[in-house]
Structures are given as structure tokens and as C-alpha cells.
Structure 1
């Protein structure tokens, strides 16, 4: 432990000696200080000699040494060489438990790119069962069991769930094991944000209604003359350009949606838990985004003609949009939900759509889910449909079966995201996408 603190102290002094680059740009000293601050203790590997620091600390020492300004000095130059050589090359050992069949070939390709002999490399293995006596730092698993986590102690440090929303069962397992950190994977951000825009346009442009009418006319017997849109005012639809949109949740999905809405000419506002300094005062038109706190939700809803929900399902977001909030939206507004069904009150949503207060909705997430034994998903008392209410009878609702992640590139995108996460852990000592098991996102 004393040696680790000596190394850490050296890295801090080295960070202070790094000069900012001429002409601006990223300051390596600031990068180094961030890595040092995040550095934690790593237990010895089986058969290893002594304790070692996270790989990122050694890598950071090399980073700082290569950027020190002329004339700067450090009394621990020999230590820099020794520690950097040892720790920067300490591989991270990861295991992917029960991967999907379509991921196996991609995993083979990724494993071939990252080995022990490479700088900032990692060892990756996978399988349907954990090998006995495993010495693993990072476990990748969809639905971990208590046995999975406990069998890897004490080497295991991080758990990656390879999708966005860990189940309640997984969260409880990690709460009971505070020495482990949980991380999620945002591989589906592109496909889900694309679906959100698709639902919005389909609902706004009455796409399903127009498609069904034209098909019916074309299939009629005897044949009927079809009517062009310019001759039928009932086919008129809302134009989004110049209108105001509100995005609830500005994570990897919501932020993408906001950029597209801006490109469509909308005035885009977003709500998130924390408002970054300075963003509140930015322009709110075109492709710019004005960010607000949750305390402004009611006033924003009253002036937003499009609302896109991209929030996770947590205790804080449960029922966030109830009858009062939905009726506060201007009459004829459009609502899209690609976050979680629990964010919107089921009964209130059905009523405002049935009455026509909301002009239309595009829904990909629901209130009832199929039971998935052992995974903490679904309900044994669920009804067969996605809701207890007949949303399918409403002509102003576009329905999809929670398929935001469904893509022909799903496996490729997931493996690419996992690779990027492991590479960052090797290079900086920090595994991205840390999930707060207490807040639920």
C-alpha cells in the first residue's frame, strides 16, 4: 500500500509539471490528474507478487512523462520507468458469460486484436460457464447470479451488463456487493433514437392511416378511383419545422434525438437531472439545445407540441407524466416514448389519446411484459397484451413491440461498444458507463 501511495504521489507531481500544449487543445496534465484521482487499489492476481495499482495509473505516468515541458524536473525518474513499464502493460482480464450466438465470431475477431503482449491490451474469454479458478477483473453478463459474482471473488472488480437497463434483480445483487461497480452498454443508442424519430414522423404524418386507406382502395373490387392528397384535406398533417420539441432524458439516446429534431427545424429543449453550467443560457432554436432541470417540467410541457420520452424506469421517474402533466400539453400535441412505459401513467395516457387531447402517440415501451423466468422481468399476472387498455383500438397510436435495439447490426454494435469500454479501461484505468445502482441510471 505504501508503494502504491508513493507511485500516486509521483503521478500527482508529474501532472503539475506538465505544460499545456501551445495553441490550445487537450491538456495532458489535466488528463493525468483525472486518472490519478480515479485510481483505486487492485488486489494481487493468483500467483502474483505483491499488490499492483490499476493499469491506468502506470499508463498515465507514461503519458505525463512524454508531455513534460523542457526544464521541468522530477526526482523519481527511475520510478517512472519501472512503474510505467510494469503497470501500463498489466492486462485487464475480462470474461463474457453466455454471449449470443451471433456474437461469437465477432468476439473471436476482437480477442485477436488485444493480447497480453500489446500495450494497454486485455485478455478476453467467453463461454456458457465460468472456468474454475477464474482470475477475472471484468465480468460481462446479461443477468448475473449470486453464484456468478461470488465465485469470482476477490479478483472481480467490475460487472458490465451488455444493454442499457439492468434488471431489478441485478441491481439488488450489486447493492449487496458494494465492492463491485456496475456498468451498462449503450450499443443501441443509434437504432433506438432512429426508431424514436420514425415513431414521431409516422404519428405526425398519419402514415399508417394513409397507407391502409390507399391499400384498401387499390384492392377494392370493383376498382375505385384513388384520391390524391391535395384533393383531400383530411390527409393534412402537422409540419414540425418551427415548432417546439421537448426531450425528456438527454443520455445517449435523447441527445441523438435532440440533434435530429434540431435538424428538422424545431426549437429543441431538453430536461435532465443535472444542468451543466452555462447550458441553460444557450440559444434554443435550430440545432441548438437548451437544457433545463426537472423543476421546469410543467412549464415546458405547456408550450411543447412534441414530447419525446427517453428516460429510464426508476423510482424518481415512475408516473412522472400523469393526467395533469399530459393535459398541460397543448391540444393536438404528439408524444413519443422509447424510454420506459412506467414513466407515463397508463390510464391517463389512454384517456387523453381517446379524447383527442393528444393528437397522436408513438409507443415502443409498454406496461405489461412477458414473464422471463429467472431474469426478474415480466409478471406472472400479466395480460396477454402490452397494456390492460385497448391502445390497439386507437387510430392515433403507432405501436411497436419494444424493438428499439432490434437492428441487423445489433451484435456488431454491442461488441464494438464493449471493445471500446475495455480499451478505455486499459488506457486510463476508468471503465466508462458506470451505472448508479441507487438512482437506477
Structure 2
């Protein structure tokens, strides 16, 4: 009989520990496995920096206690810091249920010969759908019309049927996508079905990879687009990619959508453009600081913004996919097979 595999399923209130446990039990087959559940606080408690890692739950002590004697950790928000790794000498594999292991100290893991995997693509469909929903909400003033009717029984939202206040439709609308990865490419397909004129800026994509869509420079895309939607990864190069200069290139009355990462966009410059009327609307799911700070100017622009609390990937299918993709990596590791999404 093989030695019992000890796994910690450090889930949360989205990727539930029981989802991880069921998926891992199926993936390891006949190998005896003990799966130890741990429930972290996210999203009921916000993530943030923990020691030297980012976007993690503040739970180092709970992680250390749970990982005693464990060889495998599957988690979404668990902080895998130098301290946690040093206190977990039996740990050999960490699988993060996210598109990137930002909550793991990769250098410390490599030093300790701990393999680190992640789960790319688990939320691409959900985020793409949410992006199009946010775009339609901003273009057609759906939240602004909903609020007075649902809240006060007021029909005042009918003013959005006047020519001056009515919105834009996607058919024939020039829409610029900044980024053409797993999410951006899905958004492009949906927008093309609506009949939008889709343009793409992505310096890492070539013409033959975008299936006939217009590939543009960033400045040209901004000058031609009535809507821009951000889909780039957040890196040192892309931080602040859309600032005051870039917003100034958009045609007057344009709309900005960001369901990617908040720091891609200069929020101060965005608020200035909305307040001045240069932009007609913005739809944001991510922000420079999360949760949105009390002194943010965005809620004061409620007639011109659609704001949601980082919900783009919030579908049950995403949680189930994340657990399943992570468990497949655990199964490969148990069988000594090459890992599919490994960074160390």
C-alpha cells in the first residue's frame, strides 16, 4: 500500500474546501489520501499583502498549523510566505487556484524544492461574459434607470429615452480591446456577434492570430474607439497604461470598461475625464485600491459609472473549474507525470 498522501485544501467561501477535496480524491485514484480542509475568509474578508506576497488572506498561523506533515497544498488565497514554507518541511507541491501564484514566494519555494502550479483559464469565460454585461450596462444606462424605479418607484429613468440622454448600441460601434488573451479574445467573439467594429491592441499578438480583426497601435485604437475595454495583465510595463494622455485621445463621449486589473487605469485621470464630460461613462470591476477607499471619487459620479466589487470571475463554474484543474495537477504529481502549469 502506498504511503498516505496528506493534502491541505485551504479553500475559502468561493473555492470551497469540499470542492477541492472531491476533485483531489477523484484525481489521485487509488492512492490513499487524507485531505485536511481549511476555510479562509475571502471574499467576506478582503485579501491584501501578507509579509512578502500579495493578494492573500492574512492567515499565516492557520496555514502553518494545517500544513503540519502535509506534502500538498491546494489553495486560492492562502499566503505561502517564507515563514509558512520554513515551517512546512514536508511540503512538496503547491497548487494555486488562480491565473497566477501571486500569493506564493516563488524564490523561497524553489529554494526548498517545492513545486508551484497554477490554474490558468479557469475564469476566462465568466470574466468575458461579465465584461460584455458591464459594457452594455454602461452604454444603455441600465443601473441608472434601475435605481430610481426599484428604489423609489420613480419613472424618472424614462429620461434616458430622450435623444440627448439615450445610450449607444454595440452594432457598428467601434470598440477597442487592450489585450487579446484568454478573456479579450472571448470578448471579441461576442462583440463581433453583436456587429461591433472590433479593434485590438496587443504587442504580443500577430495579425494571423486575431482572425481578421483590426490590429492597431494603442494611440490609433484610442483615437478610433467609442468604447475601450482593458484585458491586459498587470505588469511593471502595463501599470498606468491608460492615463490622462491616453484618455484624451478618445473621442468625446467615449466609454471605458475595466474588468481586468485596477492599476492598468489612472483612476484620478478617469474621474477628471468623467467630471469634465470628456467621457460619458465608465464601467469598473477592479480598482487601484481594493476595497474601494472611503475617499474615492468614483461613487460621487454614480450617474456616469457602473461599479461592482471585483465580481468578474464570480461564477460557480469558475470555482468548480479551479478545483478540477488544480486537482489534475495533484494527480500528475502523484503519478510522476509532467506538470501542466508549473513555475518552479
TM-score normalized by the length of structure 1: 0.60
Give the whole-Å Cα distance in 2 for the aligned partners of 1:107 and 1:396: 41
Give the 5 Å matches for 1:322-341. Answer: 322-341=243-262
Q: Name 2:94's counterpart in structure 1.
A: 159
Local SS of the residue matching 1:419? helix
Structure 2 CA distance for partners of 1:312 and 1:266, relative to 1, 3 Å: same
Q: How big is each residue's C-alpha offset from its partner over 1:330-371, in whole Å with a ceiling of 9 and x where there is no partner? A: 22221100111111112211111111212211011112224x
Give the whole-Å Cα distance in 1 for the aligned partners of 2:24 and 2:150: 50
Give the whole-Å Cα distance in 1 for the aligned partners of 2:248 and 2:169: 22
Q: Tell me if 1:211 matches 2:146.
A: yes
Give the whole-Å Cα distance in 1 for the aligned partners of 2:89 and 2:215: 42
Give the 5 Å matches for 1:192-211. Answer: 192-211=127-146
Q: How big is each residue's C-alpha offset from its partner over 1:10-48, in whole Å with a ceiling of 9 and x where there is no partner? A: xxxxxxxxxxxxxxxxxxxxxxxxxxxxxxxxxxxx99x
| Unaligned stretches of 5+ residues in structure 1 | 1-45, 48-90, 285-289, 371-381, 437-441
Out of 105, 126, 136, the residue aligned to residue 36 of structure 2 is 126
Give the whole-Å Cα distance in 1 for the aligned partners of 2:123 and 2:196: 24
Q: Name 1:99's counterpart in structure 2.
A: 11
Q: Is the CA contact 1:196–1:257 (under 8 Å) kept in the aligned structure 2?
A: yes
Q: Name 2:107's counterpart in structure 1.
A: 175
Q: Is the CA contact 1:94–1:140 (under 8 Å) kept in the aligned structure 2?
A: no
Q: Name 2:308's counterpart in structure 1.
A: 400
Give the whole-Å Cα distance in 2 for the aligned partners of 1:309 and 1:227: 31
Out of 82, 98, 122, the residue aligned to residue 187 of structure 1 is 122
Q: Name 1:411's counterpart in structure 2.
A: 319
Local SS of the residue matching 2:309? coil
Q: How big is each residue's C-alpha offset from its partner over 1:26-71, in whole Å with a ceiling of 9 and x where there is no partner? A: xxxxxxxxxxxxxxxxxxxx99xxxxxxxxxxxxxxxxxxxxxxxx
Q: Tell me if 1:148 matches 2:84.
A: yes
Aligned residues: 312
Larger Rg: 1
CA shift for structure 1 position 299? 1.7
Q: Name 1:12's counterpart in structure 2.
A: none
Q: Tell me if 1:299 matches 2:299.
A: no
Q: Tell me if 1:343 matches 2:267.
A: no
CA shift for structure 1 position 203? 0.5
| Unaligned stretches of 5+ residues in structure 2 | 39-64
CA shift for structure 1 position 274? 1.8
Q: Is the CA contact 1:321–1:343 (under 8 Å) kept in the aligned structure 2?
A: yes
Write out the 4+ residue segments of structure 1 that deviate beyond 6 Å after TM superposition.
424-428
Give the 5 Å matches for 1:1-80. Answer: none
Structure 2 CA distance for partners of 1:277 and 1:208, relative to 1, 3 Å: closer
Structure 2 CA distance for partners of 1:112 and 1:212, relative to 1, 3 Å: closer
RMSD: 3.6
Give the whole-Å Cα distance in 2 for the aligned partners of 1:325 and 1:268: 18
Q: Name 2:241's counterpart in structure 1.
A: 320
Q: Tell me if 1:237 matches 2:150.
A: no
